[in-house]
Structure 1
């Protein structure tokens, strides 16, 4: 295992930390006093588990937590996790993606204007779309299952387990990401797979390829763009050389010359036929001359 695997392994801890932070804010008996939230209201929160000021305070408290970490990877994943919390917990899965994102943007605006947000999370929130957000629960679910699997072996005397429910979930998601050519989703799965395999080999000490998650063939967005243009460039560069300096050029010139002779013969025959036709019919003054010409 490389140092990259060990670094990526900490992402599992990040997802755990997100949940712990949000749960602690939601269950706190002390009122969260966050500037801009006391009078906050939003039409989509009506009938949800929390009132609007509480949703605002929890959301902004979490954004403040992310900002204090000074880690862009932790921030980006955390912003996606907060979207999931708003949709799943705050709105009870009763509102649409558009409604949830509208609420999110309102909270981010208060964060920027009243809590020194400095627009640090705009770049993450603005690139959210329905397709991307539909994948967030699947990644979170994988890490939740992994955390359960990890905790199963911590009790004293617990039997060592080398197989978890993550395997079936992971394989189904990999098929989904590859069929949709979803680079971002595939990349997140790749990171999870490396973390999972690190845990299986280094922590659980399970030996055997059958316990490991298969590699994700990450879609290379750069190659998808470059390869077709490279082929076009090579084709336009090589064909003139082949034409000028190889037997292929001789054959092609002979073929073109043969076709030119055929075309020349056909044109001569057509002109001859036309002249004959005009001579024979010169005195007849037939009005449908053009029709006859086009038909021939």
Structure 2
């Protein structure tokens, strides 16, 4: 049994649940028409699809509300962002546009059902979170193709492609500070390696992915400090209880004595040079008087 870490990105590996929810919770014949989406137009969507996408988003949010489980709603909101991203016009795809459109659908839902607010489930929403979420959806989507009868690549090619994506995202994990992103990569690593135990893919496909190397900040700080303490203690022992220490002590004392003698000579020289020359001063005022007869 795989031990999956709980992260804000867990939906990436269980997106089929939410995909089915959003796919099945609408009808093309208009029998579930959401009047609050009348004339809805967004610059991020194709005009002829804007109303339909709005309706599906509002119905999906209503299904999340009906479920009631907080974690289910949290993950469901993240899946909605991913779904919106797939429907946005290609040249308008950006995290900030996705979040703006997501918020528009939340407002439409509040018009549809004013008694429920989703704001409590949006505390961890940000452009960085959304960027990482889309990367993880891409990773799991590529890997999960192996379970489909018809796919865009054969199983081993898809496995290799997902391994390459993992390695790319690993570098981003190290460069960033999103622990949930790194934890979800670890979850994928377990899923991947569990599949590869029974896989018949060639040896060129890695069976084990590189581990996530955690950096212990406490250890990073404490190790140099400990080294300084050890060196200081060693030098103290060396100085206090060994012949080398005695020689160093004697040398330091000699240097100190030489320095003191030099200072004393310097002071005496300065004092001598500053003594007034009385005779010299008197000479300035010594006048010769000659009698004139």
State the TM-score bracket (shorter-chain normalisation).
Answer: 0.5 to 0.7
Kept after mapping to 2: 8 A contact 1:177/1:185 = no
- Say which of 273, 279, 282 aligns to 1:280: 273
- The aligned counterpart of 1:191 is 187
1:13-162 map, 5 Å: 14-24=14-24, 28-30=28-30, 32=32, 37-38=36-37, 44-45=43-44, 47-48=46-47, 50-51=49-50, 54-67=52-65, 68=67, 70=69, 72=71, 75-108=73-106, 114-117=114-117, 119-125=119-125, 128-130=126-128, 132-152=129-149
Question: Distance between the aligned counterparts of 1:88 and 1:75, measured in 2?
Answer: 20
Deviation (angstroms), 1:174: 2.0
Structure 1: any 5+ residue segments left out of the alignment? 155-160, 285-296
What whole-Å deviation, never above 9, does each CA across 1:99-124 have from its counterpart, x for those lacking one?
32233234446657825246441233
Structure 2: any 5+ residue segments left out of the alignment? 278-293
Larger radius of gyration: 2
For these two proteins, the number of residue pairs brought into alignment is 264
**TM-score after normalising by structure 1:** 0.64
Kept after mapping to 1: 8 A contact 2:25/2:56 = yes
Deviation (angstroms), 1:94: 0.7
What whole-Å deviation, never above 9, does each CA across 1:9-41 have from its counterpart, x for those lacking one?
x96762223333334457733365569x44796
Question: Distance between the aligned counterparts of 2:78 and 2:120, measured in 1?
Answer: 14
Q: Which moved more, 1:235-244 or 1:181-190?
A: 235-244
- Partner SS state of residue 4, structure 1: coil
- Partner SS state of residue 165, structure 1: helix
Deviation (angstroms), 1:239: 6.3
Deviation (angstroms), 1:151: 1.4
**TM-score after normalising by structure 2:** 0.64
Question: Distance between the aligned counterparts of 1:82 and 1:163, measured in 2?
Answer: 30
Deviation (angstroms), 1:195: 1.9
